[in-house]
Structure 1
Amino acid sequence: MQIVSQLLFLVALGAAVYFFSRRAAGIRRNILLGRDIDLNDQPALRWKNLFLLAFGQKKMFRNPLVAVLHFFVYAGFVIINLEILEIIIDGLAGTHRIFAPVLGPVYGVLIGCFEILAVLVAVSCAIFLVRRNILKLKRFISKDLDGWPRSDANYILVTEIVLMLLFLTMNTADGILQSRGVPHYPVTDPFWITQHFAGIFNDLSDSALTGVERAAWWLHILGVLAFLNYLPWSKHLHIILAFPNAYYASLKPKGKMDNMPEIQQEVLYAMQPELAANAAPGDTPPKFGAKDVHDLTWKNLLDAFACTECGRCSAACPATQTGKALSPRLIMMKTRDRAEETGKLNGETDNKSLLRDYITEEELRACTSCNACVEECPVSINPLDIILQMRRHLIMEESSAPQEWNMMFSNIENNMAPWKFSPDDRDAWINS
């Protein structure tokens, strides 16, 4: 019977790892659809950002209560994985609590800490469910989240609560079996939390209690493996991608926009046509700005897949808050959806593009370039960079701009300023 259990566990673990690896490879492929960009400068500062923003969740602590609750969930997810390691070894080797004899009294301390974390995770997730579904904070009931995105968040929170309760149930039954001296259950120090709930199962026989413990053990680890494969399809992928995203975040001052050397070169050719005649074939870019995901950088696409859909960007966006069509959160979600769809094409075309089929001109033009979305994002996502690249395409490739913008462009071209005054008139106005 034991060998059958080990084989079943091996099959479940192998299938989970296989499907997770397959999905991870697909996400990597989708991110690399973007053009290359070098973001390996200043490694010391990049590592600092990774530890402060991803590990330390620095921006989350602008709201201390929510930050502490989120930290409990995050810490529980990371630290309780040590307990998962023991379960995996036990499942493959047919042992039970293999670390207990090795660690001695330290083992009881570790499990006690895990139990405290499990309670904190369950309580925090319950509070987050209340915030989303009862208090209904504005950024959680936005139409951006209609359909799957809203359900996704609830599924994750409920799953985490169930996994923590299964862990605590398993430990409660295990502690009683230890006290009864049942074989295969090595004696450890009393578990800090679950020892106080032993009365729930005291009336059960050894065989029934073993069934409870084994059922909780199997459901817990199968739930974890299922969660592992749900994770890459959900917004909670940020648990993994927040770290590289924080490392590769832009180190430039917020508000500093990248000039395009290609544009400067084109202007130079317009002013000195003789240089254009001698230009090398590769000097002229095939296109300006971005129309589809291939035109964005891989960092833009990493941003899209790292998005937590928390809505802090849209809550801070003046365009969103004044009823404009723009939502920075939706920009990231649409970019991710387009990257997913493009990745499935395997190089073929579907006659669609990110521009217009996913993101409208109205959305792009509503942006004030204030950088509020960039400042608020807890995982260093930059929706503004995507917006600016797409607006560049509209203006420079399609000559598509509102009349007010075209007037400004004309004034800059003819008068070297946004106003409709010649340089001489402008000087006279200053002196008047």
Structure 2
Amino acid sequence: MQYLDNIIFLVLLVAGFGLFGKSLSKIYRNIRLGREINRSDRKAERWQTMARVAMGQSRMVKRPVAGILHLFVYVGFVIINIELVEIIVDGIFGTHRFLATIFGHTFYNIFTATLEVLAILVVIGVVLFFIRRNFYGVKRLTMKELFGWPKNDANWILIIEFALMVAFFIMNASDSALQTRGLLAEHGSFPISSNLFVPLFNQLGDNVLFGAERAAWWFHFIGILFFMNYLYYSKHLHIILAFPSTWYANLNWYGKFNNLDSVTKEIKLMMDPNADPYAVPAEGDAAEAPSKFGAEDVFDLNQVQLLNAYSCTECGRCTSVCPANITGKKLSPRLILMKTRDRLEEVGRNIDKNGKFEDDGKKLLNDYITKEELWACTTCNACTEACPVLLDPLSIIFEMRRFLVMEQSAAPQELNLMMTNVENNAAPWQYNQADRLNWAKD
């Protein structure tokens, strides 16, 4: 029975990471439902972009208050969980503060003191974020598209992070008190917990202190496993997916319209008098006509766009700068990504249930994203410029518009008139080509 704790720990560890791996495999499968896209060019620039944006948080600090608070929470939470390595070793082998034997006395003291400083910054950050999100009235955080689960999800994440940090301090404080009494080997320096909690803990008996230390240690460990598996259901997947999203980000000009290979080849055939317009494309020809122009459902989007949908943190910076949204239009770039993710998750559940996708009579277009939203977009790129992790909701809008125009001929009347004029007059305006330079006569 003396190894019961170690066995329970190992079972929880394997189960926690097993469930997490299963969730990641589902996300990977869902993303792979999209069209393949080659984003393997300019590798050095991509690594630099990921380091600067995902790790360096360079875009977050464009809004200093939120950016600095996010930096506290992000850096603190990530580094503190390095201690998970120590917890795992201690839990499996029954050791106490394993890293102290690796780092040495002095460096381990610096390490634990640094973790405590970062932990208090995390506490300050999550408390201020909670107040800001629920009581301060930031417009982009109180829009109706966040009512219900999105708002509750954000609050639960803040509460979980707060609880984990409090458990971290209680664990260290009780450990420190036991070390002072000579009941545990002296390892570590705890400047925050020793001042906040130890004076209270000094009044407690040895058994109570041991119980508090073990309870906080187990709570911290199980809490991390719970948080890790909760990510699958949460917008906070971005703490993992922001890295591939920034690496695969579009490095070309924002809003640059991509030409379809099939259309380009068709134009070249029309302009080449020696070409055979009836020639059958070779099998695997990249310019072979696609099954569908543009995007009607998530299957028609590319894999980076689906990755973007999972990576969205719902911060609303894109929507807050969108001129269409500001002027009361229905469009919200944040909601474009949220609805794409919702549809992708629905498709994933369909596959889980049936073994393969069975037509459910729904599409991303109309059932999730309306034409009104798509045509409200001015293609100004403010949303892509504002996104802190380089997501591109505009590219999804582009592809769905392309489907409406090229597959359904369902463009607004103003655009149909313009395209007719281009076809007939080689200009968007409705006058004869011979009159195009009349404006310059005087």
Report the TM range for the smaller structure's normalisation. over 0.9
Distance 1:266 1:398 in 2: 20
Quote the offset at 1:427 in angstroms: 2.5
> Could you report, residue by residue, the CA deviation over 1:371-423 in whole angstroms, capped at 9, with x for unpaired residues?
00000000010000000000000010000011111100100000011100111
User: What amino acid does structure 2 have at the position aligned with 1:422?
Assistant: N
Distance 1:88 1:156 in 2: 23
| Aligned ranges 1:112-123 → 2 under 5 Å | 112-123=113-124
User: What amino acid does structure 2 have at the position aligned with 1:131?
Assistant: R
Distance 2:71 2:290 in 1: 46
Distance 1:138 1:2 in 2: 56
> Could you report, residue by residue, the CA deviation over 1:228-261 in whole angstroms, capped at 9, with x for unpaired residues?
1001221110000101111111110223221223
Q: SS at 1:225's partner residue?
A: helix
| Aligned ranges 1:115-154 → 2 under 5 Å | 115-154=116-155
Q: Residue 13 in 1 paired to residue 13 in 2?
A: yes
Quote the offset at 1:4 in angstroms: 0.7
Q: Residue 417 in 1 paired to residue 427 in 2?
A: yes
Equivalent in the alignment of 1:329: 334
Distance 2:194 2:279 in 1: 83
Quote the offset at 1:2 in angstroms: 3.5
- Contact 2:113/2:188 (CA < 8 Å) preserved in 1? no
TM-score, structure 1 normalization: 0.96
Distance 2:18 2:430 in 1: 64
Equivalent in the alignment of 1:157: 158
Quote the offset at 1:272 in angstroms: 7.5
- Contact 1:112/1:192 (CA < 8 Å) preserved in 2? yes
| Aligned ranges 1:4-403 → 2 under 5 Å | 4-102=4-102, 103-182=104-183, 185-196=184-195, 197-267=197-267, 275-280=276-281, 283-344=288-349, 345=351, 346-403=356-413
More deviation, 274-283/141-150: 274-283
Q: SS at 1:157's partner residue?
A: helix
Q: SS at 1:289's partner residue?
A: coil
Over the residues paired in the alignment, what is the CA RMSD in angstroms?
A: 1.6
Counterparts in 2 of 1:269 and 1:352: CA distance versus 1, 3 Å: farther
Quote the offset at 1:430 in angstroms: 3.4
Distance 2:438 2:198 in 1: 89
- Equivalent pairs counted in the alignment come to 430
- Contact 1:105/1:188 (CA < 8 Å) preserved in 2? no
- Contact 1:314/1:329 (CA < 8 Å) preserved in 2? yes
User: What amino acid does structure 2 have at the position aligned with 1:303?
Assistant: N
TM-score, structure 2 normalization: 0.94
Distance 1:111 1:90 in 2: 16
Q: SS at 1:258's partner residue?
A: coil
> Could you report, residue by residue, the CA deviation over 1:53-80 in whole angstroms, capped at 9, with x for unpaired residues?
0000111111223212111111112111
- Contact 2:72/2:118 (CA < 8 Å) preserved in 1? yes
Quote the offset at 1:428 in angstroms: 2.7
- Contact 2:298/2:364 (CA < 8 Å) preserved in 1? yes
User: What amino acid does structure 1 have at the position aligned with 2:125?
Assistant: S
- Contact 1:317/1:328 (CA < 8 Å) preserved in 2? yes
> Could you report, residue by residue, the CA deviation over 1:188-223 in whole angstroms, capped at 9, with x for unpaired residues?
254221222311111111111111111111111111
Distance 1:176 1:112 in 2: 16
Quote the offset at 1:343 in angstroms: 2.2
Quote the offset at 1:269 in angstroms: 5.6
Structure 2 gaps, min length 5: none
Distance 2:18 2:187 in 1: 35
- Contact 1:238/1:306 (CA < 8 Å) preserved in 2? yes
Q: Residue 408 in 1 paired to residue 408 in 2?
A: no
Distance 1:323 1:190 in 2: 55
Distance 1:206 1:190 in 2: 20
User: What amino acid does structure 2 have at the position aligned with 1:94?
Assistant: G
- Contact 1:316/1:373 (CA < 8 Å) preserved in 2? yes
Equivalent in the alignment of 1:427: 437
> Could you report, residue by residue, the CA deviation over 1:285-321 in whole angstroms, capped at 9, with x for unpaired residues?
3221111111110000011011110000000100111
- Contact 1:36/1:297 (CA < 8 Å) preserved in 2? yes
Quote the offset at 1:21 in angstroms: 0.5
Q: SS at 1:303's partner residue?
A: helix
User: What amino acid does structure 2 have at the position aligned with 1:59?
Assistant: R
